[in-house]
């Protein structure tokens, strides 16, 4: 006989994944707004921010209720703690998408600084990290989570590369400073999205294996 | 005494980094705690029926060890072997070794052993005597020569009952509430200054407030006493113990620090039991 608690946990997971899909879509639309110059997509991201925030509150309340009423232990306790943290990361991913959408609206007022080459690569990487970290949540897949962790450095390298490149454009032509600076912010936000996906992957390893892989340099006895 | 004190400590720990660090030190010292009981290859039989199978366990000094497991898994039977209480049941047999501070308890004088290893049972069982006499009883039969009044007060204080009972010492123990009776039984056990206190479901008949008092009492008694507690209440084991042992079908499945066992158990059977998936 399936316990009511397990049904509640499954429902919580489904809600978290729904929130994840909203955050994922927001990132994709925000980046496309920059790359394709589609103001409509940026507006869509801004209008959906509330939905993600509402999901965050709903999921927090569900976690709080299950912790208080079910007093979970072991794997169940780890899962609920992880959901609580993942919930915060997804909400932050939504915020980063909003930041990118706002940058997009400002960028669109100016001529394109340069052909976009690294930015699409960077967004593909960051979006794939978010997608795979959520897939790892669904499947409890440690291997997939590890692969997300390994990809974080690539996103960081692309951000550094973009920073350098945009800096040279700004030094050459002060007329592009405004738009180039917004692109720096977009790259920074994408890099942060990669970091949040990394956090989610770490939480997957925590709830599946009970290992805390954050800050590996710390001595945890 | 009381939950408030505990709450204050928790707040202090949150606010002061150095307190958190000292907590880590105490966790480290848990691994190095001195051993009070060392149990090797213990088997126990009720007639032909074996109830405990090849159990090996070290119970550390000045710590609380919780024994958990489904009904009939042998945890109470095991607890009662530690002061040979099972010998009061006919046709029982113990095979294996139980060392108390390096001495084999099976070779000890049983009265002396039970003075060193006291016991508190599920239902409070005060004697039909006054509060005072309940505590003094064990001292009298042990030929205590000193000032009884002082020791009775000391024991009642240690059991956190003095303030509530000091004006009614010569009233019947049955006039006390269930929780007070249980603390009286703890005071009675403490009067002969045991090194170990065995507690068999001591809170199962008590309300949550009284349960919290008993758990707080256990926390403070750790300074002077080693405790082993059998409990069906997983939350109680998690709150009140330093180490937890999980038993199933008479066998010890897993034994580790409580914080580890309840967050990251290693055996899937422990995981299934503490998450309520069986048992």
Q: What is the pLDDT of residues B246-269, one digit of tens each?
A: 999 999 999 999 999 999 999 999
Residue B143 burial class via C-beta count within 10 angstroms: exposed 0-12, middle 13-18, buried 19 and up? exposed
> Tens digit of pLDDT per residue, chain A (221 long)?
557 898 999 999 999 999 999 999 999 999 999 999 999 999 999 999 999 999 999 999 999 999 988 889 999 999 999 999 999 999 999 999 999 999 999 999 999 998 999 999 999 999 999 999 999 999 999 999 999 999 999 999 999 999 999 999 999 999 999 999 999 999 999 999 999 999 999 999 999 999 999 988 776 65
* A110-124, B27-41, B207-221: least confidently modelled range: B27-41
Residues facing B6 on adjacent strands: none
Distance of alpha carbon A127 from alpha carbon A129, whole angstroms: 5
Asked if B245 contacts B228 with a C-beta cutoff of 8 angstroms, the reply is: no
The pLDDT of residue B7: 38
Report the percentage of chain B scoring pLDDT > 70.
Answer: 88
**pLDDT at residue B16 above 80?**
no
Average pLDDT score over residue span B119-130: 93
Q: What is the CA radius of gyration of chain B?
A: 19
Tokens 């069982």 belong to B125
State the pLDDT confidence band at B145, using cuts at 50, 70 and 90: confident
For B97, the enclosing helix (H) or strand (E) is strand B92-100
Q: Report the range of poorest mean pLDDT among A5-9, A214-218, B156-160, B187-191.
A: A214-218
As a whole number of angstroms, the distance between CA A142 and CA A65 comes to 27
Give the pLDDT of residue B279. 60
C-alpha to C-alpha distance for B41 and B124, rounded to whole angstroms: 32
- In a domain, residue B121? The reply is yes
Nearest chain A residue to B260, by CA: A74
B108 vs B149: CA distance, rounded Å: 31
B208 shares contact with chain A (CB less than 8 Å)? no
pLDDT, tens only, B62-76:
999 999 999 999 999
Q: Give the model's pLDDT for residue A220.
A: 60
Instruction: For residue B6, tell me if it sits in a domain.
Output: no
Binning pLDDT at 50, 70 and 90, where does residue B50 land? very high
Q: Where are the domains of chain A?
A: 4-209
* Three-state SS at A109: coil
Q: What residues of chain B, 45 to 104, have a C-beta less than 8 Å from chain A?
A: none
Residue B20 binned pLDDT confidence (cut-offs 50, 70, 90): very low
Question: Does B253 contact A at CB distance below 8 Å?
Answer: no
Domain with residue B101: its CATH number is 3.40.50.300
Q: Quick one: CA dihedral B125, B130, B135, B140, positive or negative?
A: negative
Q: Quote the pLDDT of residue A84.
A: 97
* Cα B179 → chain centroid: 16
- Which residues of A fall within a CB distance of 8 Å from B235? 71
What's the CA angle centered on B97, arms B93 and B102, to 5 degrees? 140
Specify the DSSP class assigned to residue B222: T
- Reported as a pLDDT band with limits 50, 70 and 90, residue B32 is low
Please tell me which residue of chain A has the smallest CA distance to B233: A71
Identify the residue whose tokens are 């309840």: B262
SS3 content of chain B, % helix, strand, coil (to 5): 45, 25, 30
Full residue range of the structural domain in which residue B77 is found: 36-274
Residues B71-108 pLDDT 10s? 999 999 999 999 999 998 999 999 999 999 999 999 99
Q: Which two tokens stand for residue A204?
A: 């997957």
In a domain, B246, yes or no: yes
Lowest-pLDDT range of A179-188, B14-23, B185-194, B245-254? B14-23
Which residues of chain A lie closer than 8 angstroms to B264, CB-CB? 74, 78, 210
The mean pLDDT of B162-180, rounded to a whole number, is: 94
In a domain, residue B249? The reply is yes
| Three-class DSSP category at B227 | strand
In a domain, B188, yes or no: yes
In a domain, B31, yes or no: no
- Cα(B224)–Cα(B157) distance, rounded to whole angstroms? 14
**pLDDT given at position B206:** 82
Chain-chain contact of A73 with B270 (C-beta, under 8 angstroms): no
Cα–Cα distances in Å, from A89 out to A57, A144, A200?
13, 18, 7
At residue B1 the predicted structure's pLDDT band, cuts being 50, 70 and 90, is very low
- Specify the CATH number of the domain A4-209: 1.20.58.220
Domain count, chain B: 1
B31 — pLDDT class (breaks 50, 70, 90): low
Rounded to 10 degrees, the C-alpha dihedral A37/A43/A46/A47 comes to -150
**Cβ <8 Å between B234 and A73:** yes
Decide if A74 and B274 are in contact by the 8 Å CB cutoff: yes
Task: Say if A68 is an interface residue toward chain B (CB within 8 Å).
Answer: no
ipTM score here?
0.73
- pLDDT on residue B30: 62
Mean pLDDT of B202-231: 90
Contacts of A3 in chain B (CB under 8 A): 276-277
Taking the C-alpha atoms of residue B143 and residue A171, their distance in angstroms, rounded to an integer, is 96
Which residues pair with residue B42 across a beta bridge? B55
pLDDT at position A204 is 98
Question: What pLDDT score does B18 carry?
Answer: 38
Residue B5 in this model has a pLDDT that exceeds 60: no
B37 sits in which H/E element: strand B35-46
């Amino acid at each position: 006989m399936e316990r009511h608690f397990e049904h509640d946990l499954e429902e919580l997971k489904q809600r978290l994944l729904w929130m994840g899909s909203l955050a994922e879509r927001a990132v994709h639309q925000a980046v496309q707004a920059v790359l394709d110059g589609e103001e409509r997509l940026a507006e869509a991201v801004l209008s959906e921010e509330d939905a993600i925030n509402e999901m965050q509150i709903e999921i927090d309340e569900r976690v709080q209720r299950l912790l208080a009423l079910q007093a979970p232990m072991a794997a169940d306790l780890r899962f609920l703690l992880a959901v609580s943290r993942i919930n915060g990361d997804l909400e932050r991913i939504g915020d980063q998408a909003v930041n990118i959408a706002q940058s997009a609206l400002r960028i669109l007022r100016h001529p394109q600084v340069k052909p976009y080459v690294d930015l699409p690569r960077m967004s593909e990487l960051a979006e794939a990290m978010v997608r795979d970290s959520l897939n790892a949540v669904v499947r409890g897949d440690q291997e997939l989570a590890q692969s997300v962790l390994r990809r974080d450095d690539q996103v960081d390298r692309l951000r550094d590369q973009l920073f350098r490149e945009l800096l040279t454009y700004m030094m050459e032509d002060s007329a592009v400073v405004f738009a180039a600076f917004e692109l720096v912010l977009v790259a920074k936000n994408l890099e942060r999205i990669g970091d949040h996906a990394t956090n989610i992957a770490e939480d997957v390893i925590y709830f599946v294996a009970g290992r805390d892989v954050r800050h590996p340099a710390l001595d945890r006895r | 005494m009381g939950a408030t004190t505990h709450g204050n400590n928790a707040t202090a720990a949150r606010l002061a980094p150095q307190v958190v660090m000292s907590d880590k030190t105490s966790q480290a010292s848990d691994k190095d705690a001195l051993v009070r009981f060392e149990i090797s290859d213990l088997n126990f039989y009720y007639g032909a029926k074996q109830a405990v199978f090849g159990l090996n366990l070290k119970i550390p000094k000045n710590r609380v060890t919780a024994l958990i497991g489904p009904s009939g898994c042998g945890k109470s039977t095991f607890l009662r072997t530690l002061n040979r209480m099972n010998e009061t049941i006919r046709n029982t047999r113990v095979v294996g070794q139980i060392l108390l501070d390096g001495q084999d308890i099976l070779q000890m004088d049983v009265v002396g052993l039970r003075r060193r290893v006291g016991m508190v049972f599920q239902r409070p069982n005060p004697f039909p005597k006054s509060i005072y006499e309940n505590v003094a009883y064990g001292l009298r039969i042990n030929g205590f020569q000193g000032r009884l009044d002082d020791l009775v007060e000391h024991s009642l204080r240690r059991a956190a009952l003095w303030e509530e009972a000091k004006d009614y010492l010569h009233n019947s123990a049955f006039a006390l509430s269930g929780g007070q009776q249980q603390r009286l039984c703890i005071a009675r056990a403490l009067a002969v200054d045991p090194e170990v206190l065995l507690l068999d479901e001591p809170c199962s008949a008590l309300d949550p407030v009284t349960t919290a008092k008993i758990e707080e009492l256990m926390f403070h008694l750790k300074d002077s006493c080693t405790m082993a507690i059998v409990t069906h209440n997983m939350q109680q084991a998690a709150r009140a113990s330093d180490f937890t042992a999980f038993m199933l079908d008479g066998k010890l499945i897993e034994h580790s620090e409580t914080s580890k066992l309840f967050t990251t158990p290693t055996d899937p059977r422990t995981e299934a039991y503490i998450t309520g998936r069986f048992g």
